[in-house]
Amino acid sequence: MCDFQGIPRYMGSQASRGPTRTRRLQGFWIAALLACGVELSARPVLAAGESAAAQELSTFKTWLEREHPGYGCDEGPAPFRNSTVDAAYPSRRFYYVLTYARGIAPPFPNSLSMVVQVSENGEVRRLDASDPASFQPGLMKVASAQSARQAAAAILILALGDPGERRWRVDVDSMAVKKSRKGWVGTYYHGGQTYASRVTFDRSGVLTSIQCNPPPVP
């Protein structure tokens, strides 16, 4: 909120203080009111974003109950919150459910792990590593080694399905990126050369393939 305490309250007597002083005070008040206008106008935008996210999450929950009745999971349904993903997809929201990998039979008869986006018309679209196009909308432009590194890391995090990266962490700075005449290749080694995950982009920066190869669960 704008706080006007301590602001001079002698606008009514400006004329007696000379034209320079009058112009200075007028400029001050205009700037102050504009600042308040910006602050107040930003609040409805923020509220609208929060409302849209709540509606999308509700749509996802309804879709899960309809398409996967009796499903079970360890996390979610919830927003997929991850700083690396947020940086690579600044205008896109994701939601997820996750069943932990245990190396044994799942604890639920109908266990689920997935990441989705909810479109403006309420369509739930699941991200699928075998369909790179499902990861493309909203992705940052890939035009340099750094942007390829950031985008590839975010895509792997989404493909692995765990915003907390509890088992398989993907560190942006450890993503190896190579450029060729065909485009960009991002390779991430999960603790060694044996287990490597790769993300490729063509010369236009469009995502073309996703290969997830983390170590097996012990």
Mean of per-residue pLDDT scores for the chain: 83
Q: Give the tens place of pLDDT for each residue, 9-43.
A: 444 444 444 555 545 545 544 454 444 454 444 45
pTM for the whole structure: 0.76
Mean pLDDT of 136-164: 97
More confident residue, 31 or 199: 199
pLDDT-derived band of residue 153, with 50, 70 and 90 as boundaries? very high
CB-side exposure of 141: number of CA atoms within 13 Å? Answer: 2
Which residue, among 66, 156, 62, 68, has the nearest Cα to 118 in the 3D structure?
Answer: 62
Question: What pLDDT is attached to residue 41?
Answer: 43
Helix, strand or coil, per DSSP, at residue 110: coil
Q: Give the tens place of pLDDT for each residue, 35-84.
A: 445 444 445 544 555 788 999 999 999 999 999 999 999 999 999 999 99
Domains in the chain: boundaries: 18-45, 46-211
Which residue, among 115, 214, 196, has the nearest Cα to 161 in the 3D structure?
Answer: 115
Which residue, among 74, 64, 101, 60, has the nearest Cα to 212 in the 3D structure?
Answer: 101
How far is Cα 149 from Cα 145, in angstroms, rounded to an integer? Answer: 6
